[in-house]
Structure 1
Amino acid sequence: MLTWANAQSDEAYDKIENQKVAYVTKHLNLTPSEAQRFFPLYNQYNKSMRSVKSAKSNMLSNQSDRRNNDMIEFDAKEVDLKKLYRSKFAEVIGSARASEFFMVEQEFKDMLYRELQSRKNR
């Protein structure tokens, strides 16, 4: 049963990621060539960011870790990752669109959240 639940979760995650790729591609007006070079970097960024967020979540759920860790350190790691990848993205899509990526990413998350809330309220 756990394997089935994980498979369902992985499928849902993959579906959302595919929608996100399409959304980012459209809103940043990525050419096929740019997309081919951008998304491997995005995947690295996403993996690194998930790792930081997971560590932050684990810290929040462990009482002794909560006393020994500083939330601001996790926030700083997230900002540092964004700065690092903004410069990497800029090499592929230029500075303006590299900065815009983070706004587009947040818009997608907001849209997804609204959609989930809408489904809940039906």
Structure 2
Amino acid sequence: MMFKKKYIWITLFFSIFSIALSFAQDKNRFQAIENEKIAYITKELGLTPREAQQFFPLYNEYSQTLWDIRKEKLNGTPKNSFRNGSRDILQYDAKEVEVKKEYRAKFAKVIGNARASQFFEVEQEFREHLYKSLQNRRK
């Protein structure tokens, strides 16, 4: 009986430990991708250290705002988002476009209009680069 309790506690401990380790690895992977993205954006937009120092806090706000909208799109529903019993996906897309317009203006104050507009292209290019590299790793 004592042996069974000890075995159960050891199994439980290792299960919790492996779950925690898994979450830490996912967080590290995400952080590595974010770091690579920051380096890519900095290089492609030709940001000076001063511009980068002002740009990336705005970028972090922008990124978090988009994440919140996308989570809401997948998981929740804001008020009045249902029409005839179905979710109005276009409402979320419209929110994303508004956020992008708002942040393009904020980015322009730091890096100018041309590079602020170019940012969205660079961001898309990075996603494509990331997707291709993931495809290559799977092969």
By the TM > 0.5 criterion, same fold? yes
In structure 1, runs of 5+ residues without a counterpart are none
* Aligned positions, number: 117
1:33-112 matches, cutoff 5 A: 33-59=50-76, 67-112=85-130
1:59: how far off?
4.6
- Distance, in Å, in 2 between the alignment partners of 1:44 and 1:2 is 30
1:52-83 residue CA offsets vs partner (Å, 9 max, x unmatched): 111112159xxxx7944200001001101100
Higher helix proportion (structure 1 or 2): 1
- Structure 1 stretches of 4+ with a deviation exceeding 2 A read 65-69
Name the structure 2 match of 1:114: 132
1:19-51 residue CA offsets vs partner (Å, 9 max, x unmatched): 000000000000000000000000000000011
Contact 1:59 1:69 in 2 (8 A): no
Query: Quick check: which has more Rg, 1 or 2?
Result: 2
Q: Does residue 22 of structure 1 match 2:39? A: yes
- Distance, in Å, in 2 between the alignment partners of 1:86 and 1:53 is 19
2:27 aligned to which of 10, 34, 48: 10
Greater alpha carbon shift after TM alignment, 20-29 vs 4-13: 4-13
| CA RMSD in angstroms, aligned pairs only | 1.7
Provide TM-score, normalisation by structure 1: 0.90
- Distance, in Å, in 1 between the alignment partners of 2:73 and 2:26 is 21
Identity among equivalent positions (%) equals 50
- Distance, in Å, in 1 between the alignment partners of 2:76 and 2:105 is 29
- Distance, in Å, in 1 between the alignment partners of 2:86 and 2:37 is 35
Q: Which has the higher contact order (CA 8 A, sep 6+)?
A: 1
- Distance, in Å, in 2 between the alignment partners of 1:114 and 1:57 is 25
- Distance, in Å, in 2 between the alignment partners of 1:48 and 1:2 is 28
1:120: how far off?
1.1
Provide TM-score, normalisation by structure 2: 0.79
